[in-house]
Structure 1
Amino acid sequence: MISMVAVAVIGDEILLGEVVDRNLAWISGELFRLGVDLRYSCVLPDDLPFIVQHLRWMKEKFEWVITTGGIGATHDDLTRTAVAQVFKVPLIEHPEVIAALEEKLGAPLTPRLRQLAMLPSGVLLIPNPGSAAPGFLMGNVAALPGIPSMVRSMFPYISRKMTGEIIHSEEFFTTRFESQIADVLEEIQGDYPRVKIGSYPVTSGGEFRVRLVLRSRSSEMLKKAFEDVRRRVDS
């Protein structure tokens, strides 16, 4: 069965437009490449009850939930606490994390840095090649840091647990307006329910065109639908 995934980006700085999120687009692309279905995504504020409410719903609705952000050592890093509340387990200090951090830093941890080792009881640690501070996997919820380079290096630990089926795609451009081809596309979509047809207006160099993209897990069905779309749109 193909995995269904939800992604939650956590942080006021994203919602306020102070930081442009680069994680969701990258994760989306990787899931598509793996043939895994990303069915839901959201950006959540640094608000503990709000995070808990949404994570609780997502973990019941989807096979996998990925969060980014909120696992640092400051007062507004709330993901650890939220996940613990969702799974109704305590936060406990993980000695192996403390040992790894102290080895990395070459000194005993300050009380603030020890917060990085306070994780929900029963988690699996997700190694972080860019830092000794790990992410973690609790049930079907994977918590990653918000730093894009770390997300990229840690993501394979999660993705290899997912099941996907390659999605094939074809695309072409037309100079016809969407309103001129909408009825044709709707009819063809009905003829090929296993193929998704997307229509996206674009402008480049002052030229208006419509980009038509067809996607399907069936390469044979995709080929037939693509030929039908090209023939009927260009006629």
Structure 2
Amino acid sequence: MSAFGAYIIGDEILSGRREDKHFAKLRELLHARGLRLSWVHYLGDEPQRLTEAFRRSLASEDIVFSFGGIGATPDDHTRQCVAHALGVPLELHPEAEALIRARFGERTTPQRLEMGRFPRGARIIPNPYNQIPGFSVADHHFVPGFPVMAWPMVEWVLDTQYAHLFHREDYVEDSVYVWDAHEGDLVDLMQALTVRYPEGTLFSLPSVPEETGGRRRLELGFKGPRAVVEAAMRDIVAALEARGLSWERPRS
């Protein structure tokens, strides 16, 4: 099954002038469809880095969403860098041109038409907010940085192009909170579970007392095929109880 990844682009994200909201939202949109996010890269407005990143991921089989940098101001480089990575020119997309002209009418300018110049062979992504489209090439999908535009566009791409992947993977996560325990006290249990259930992945997430109201807490769990996770969690709970350790399920 193809992996899903994301680029989140903009100097304003890296400098802290804007707070990224795309990572959490994309993860939510994928999860609701039985999909999961494998990687996220944050990139500034540096054409060379952008081109190199796009060249690498376009050579892969990953399904990638890219947020930001598709406008027509001098600090927007995404469209040009995708074209460079593909080795094709930018061209005014006829559907994009029609949408932009319909949106602006007599106020259509060459600058506004620049927003419809995409790498040759691109497909448009409709924008329900202001009709200025994004674009797709292969399994890479480029949307604006504005959440009000980007998120419906991502949903449209998922629902029209990848519905055949929804809820297909047998993958779940489960965990318990273990109270007043150190990771070091449970390493032997973790090692045994990793050997016993190689089809799944164990995870251990400690929290310091300052984060949990004064008590030490360790989240211990498993992820992978449902049957494997259920069996591993039964073993975890049995081992914790045998050791006299206090545990509870995380609240939803």
TM-score past 0.5 threshold: yes
Aligned to 1:74: 73
Give CA deviations for 1:139-171 in whole Å, capped at 9, x if unaligned.
121111111222220112332434241522222
Which of 171, 176, 199 is residue 167 of structure 1 equivalent to? 171
Deviations 1:106-148 (A, max 9, x none): 4331232221111111111011111211111111211111112
Structure 2 counterpart of 1:223? 230
Question: How far did residue 11 of structure 1 move?
Answer: 0.8
TM-score of the aligned structures, taking structure 1 as reference length: 0.90
State the one-letter code of the partner of 1:167: Y
- The answer for the alignment partner of 1:211 in structure 2 is 219
Which secondary structure state, in structure 1, belongs to the residue aligned with residue 107 of structure 2?
coil
Gapped regions of structure 2 (runs ≥ 5): 244-252
Tell me whether 1:40 sits opposite 2:47 in the alignment: no
* Structure 1 pair 151–212 and aligned structure 2 pair: CA distance change class (3 A): farther
Q: Quick one: distance in 1 between partners of 2:61 and 2:15?
A: 27
Matches of 1:55 and 1:159 in 2, distance apart?
Answer: 20
Write the distance in 1 (CA, Å) between the matches of 2:171 and 2:154: 20
1:39 CA drift (Å): 2.8
Aligned residues: 233
**After the TM superposition, which residues 28-107 of structure 1 pair with which residues of structure 2 at under 5 Å, given as runs?**
28-107=27-106
Shift of 1:80: 0.5
Task: State the alpha-carbon separation in 1 of the partners of residues 32 and 203 from structure 2.
Answer: 18
In structure 1, C-alpha distance between the alignment counterparts of 2:34 and 2:85, rounded to whole Å: 28
Larger RCO (alpha carbons 8 Å, 6+ apart): 1
Q: Compared with structure 1, are the counterparts of its residues 200 and 168 closer, same or farther at alpha carbon in structure 2 (3 Å cutoff)?
A: same
Distance 1:212 1:33 in 2: 24
Give the corresponding residue for 2:17. 18
Q: Which residue matches 2:194?
A: 189
Identify the residue that residue 184 of structure 2 maps to in structure 1.
179
Q: Which runs of 5+ in 1 are unaligned?
A: none
Q: Which amino acid aligns with 1:205?
A: G
Identity of aligned residues (%): 28
Root-mean-square deviation (Å): 1.9
Task: Using the TM superposition, give the Cα deviation of residue 94 of structure 1 relative to its aligned residue in structure 2, in angstroms.
Answer: 2.1
